[in-house]
A = this chain, B = another copy of it.
Amino acid sequence: MKVTVSRKAHFNAAHRLYRKDWSPQQNDDIFGKCNNPNFHGHNYELIVSVTGEIDIVTGYVIDMKILKEIIKSEVEDAFDHKNLNLDVPDFENLNPTAENIAVVIYNKIKPKLKSVFDLEITLYETPRNFVTYPAK
């Protein structure tokens, strides 16, 4: 009896979309106002979903307190109130699009979970734009 349990979390951060190896014009053409050299920012809403069997002893798939701690140490402490481009090493050479941020979060949380669990990351960049990794 596999169940997916999901936990919502939040962080806010500044970022800028651009490629260092492109000209300003190229960056403007592709990334538009997201390429503001002075950065802009978002309240990122995060949903971390873990799939596994219900433990018949506890009735839990995973203790939500443990999942909450993993999200705090791996994501909130690392990203919250940060500039993703300047303060977070994961994005030193990776454009911090919502897609790439979701993959980075997946790769940070996955090793902290028992290998038997499946993991899905949903990340809202704005209330109207969000991404899911792995793809639905």
Contacts and interface: CB of A to CB of B under 8 A. Distances in A.
Contact of A136 (B33, B51, B127): B51
Tell me the dominant secondary structure on chain A's binding face.
Answer: mixed
A41 B59 contact: no
B82 A3 contact: no
B36 A133 contact: no
Q: A-B pairs with the 9 shortest C-beta distances?
A: A41-B41, A38-B83, A59-B97, A59-B95, A2-B135, A33-B81, A14-B14, A14-B41, A14-B39
Interface of A: 1-10, 12-15, 17, 19, 30-34, 36, 38-43, 45, 49, 51-52, 54, 57-61, 63-65, 80-83, 86-87, 94-100, 102-103, 118, 120, 126-136
